[in-house]
Amino acid sequence: MIGDVVARPGHVAVLERIQDLREQHAVDLAVMNAENLAGGFSVTPQMCEELFAAGIDVMTSGNHIFDKREAAPYIARQPRLLRPANYPEGTPGTGLWVGVARGGERVAVLNLMGRVYMPPTHDSPFAAAERLLAGLDDSVRVRLVDMHAEATSEKVAMAWHLDGRVSAVVGTHTHVQTADERVLPGGTAFITDLGMTGSHSGCIGMEKEGVIARFLGPASARPDHSRGGVRICAALIDVDDATGRAREISRLNLPHES
C-alpha cells in the first residue's frame, strides 16, 4: 500500500518502480492513494489509466479527490478508483472495491475519511466501516482499509475498532511516514501514516518558499509542487489468505532518481 502520491514526481516514481517493487517483494495486490496525483490536487483520467496499466491495482483517495472537474465523471465509471465511503449519499463513485489479487485470493479495499480537523461534509467513518463490512461476503477474508485522516488519534481508534475484522488499517493524508507499524492482537496490521510518495525537498510535497510565504503573511497564491528529493513511501503487508490475519507489516521509504 503506497502513501499519498503527490504531483508529477510521485507519479513518475510509481510508474518507473512499481513493476520492480512487485517482483522484488512478490506483491499480489498494489494499492496507492491518488488524491494528490494531478499537480497535488485530485486526479486526471489519463494519469490514473497510466498507473493502472503500469501495475497499480486499486487507487484510494481523500478530501482532494473532486478538486478537478474531470474527476467526478471518471470516478463514476472507474470502479478501481475509490473515494471515501463516508461521503454523502449520491456522491459519484464508491468507497469499496472487491476483486481478485494475482494469487487468486478475493480482496476488499475500503476507503474511509476522518472527520477531526477535516472538512465537515461527510458522515462518520466508523458507521461507514460497519456498513461496508456487514455487506461483505465471509469468503472475502483479505480486507484492506485506507483511513485518510488528519488526527492520529482517529486513525488509531479506527484500527482498534476494526482489529480482528480487517487485515490492515493504514493511515494517509498527513504525508509524513510514522514509525509505529505493528500487528494488533486481533491480527490487523496498522501504521498511522504511510507517508508521501513524491518530492521531499519542500513542505509535504509543495515548494517550501510558497508555503513559508503563506505562514508569514496574508494568503498568497497556492504554491506549486516541489521537485527534488523524490521518495517512495509505502508499507508491505503479509496476510494469511486463509484467515485474513496479517502476519507482518514493514515500512518502505525508498529514494528515487529518474
pLDDT tens digits, residue range 242-255? 999 999 999 999 99
Does the structure show a pLDDT above 70 at 6? yes
How far is residue 5 CA from its own chain's centroid? 8
Tell whether 167 is covered by a domain.
yes
Tell whether 50 is covered by a domain.
yes
d(CA 241, CA 230): 33
C-alpha cell at 186: 486481533
pLDDT class of 112 with cuts at 50, 70, 90: very high
pLDDT class of 50 with cuts at 50, 70, 90: very high
C-alpha cell at 154: 482517529
Domain count, the chain: 1
pLDDT at residue 221, as a whole number: 76
Domain span holding position 172: 7-197+232-247
199 burial (CB, 10 Å; 0-12 / 13-18 / 19+) is: buried
Tell whether 258 is covered by a domain.
no
* Strand runs labelled E in the chain: 31-33, 58-60, 96-100, 106-113, 142-148, 168-172, 182-183, 189-191, 198-199, 230-239, 246-255
Tell whether 13 is covered by a domain.
yes
Summarize the confidence of residues 24-44 as an average pLDDT. 96
This prediction's pTM: 0.95
Tell whether 242 is covered by a domain.
yes
Average of per-residue pLDDT values in the chain: 95
* Active-site pick, 11, 64, 173, 256: 64
Q: Please confirm, yes or no, whether 122 is among the known catalytic residues.
A: no
Tell whether 128 is covered by a domain.
yes
Does the structure show a pLDDT above 90 at 225? no
Tell whether 135 is covered by a domain.
yes
Q: How big is the chain by its Cα radius of gyration, in Å?
A: 17
C-alpha cell at 222: 497556492
Cβ neighbours of 94 (radius 10 Å): 16
CATH code assigned at 159: 3.60.21.10
Tell whether 92 is covered by a domain.
yes
pLDDT at residue 40, as a whole number: 85
Summarize the confidence of residues 54-81 as an average pLDDT. 97
**Termini Cα distance of the chain:** 21
pLDDT at residue 258, as a whole number: 62
| Window from 40-54, 67-81, 201-215 with minimum mean pLDDT | 201-215
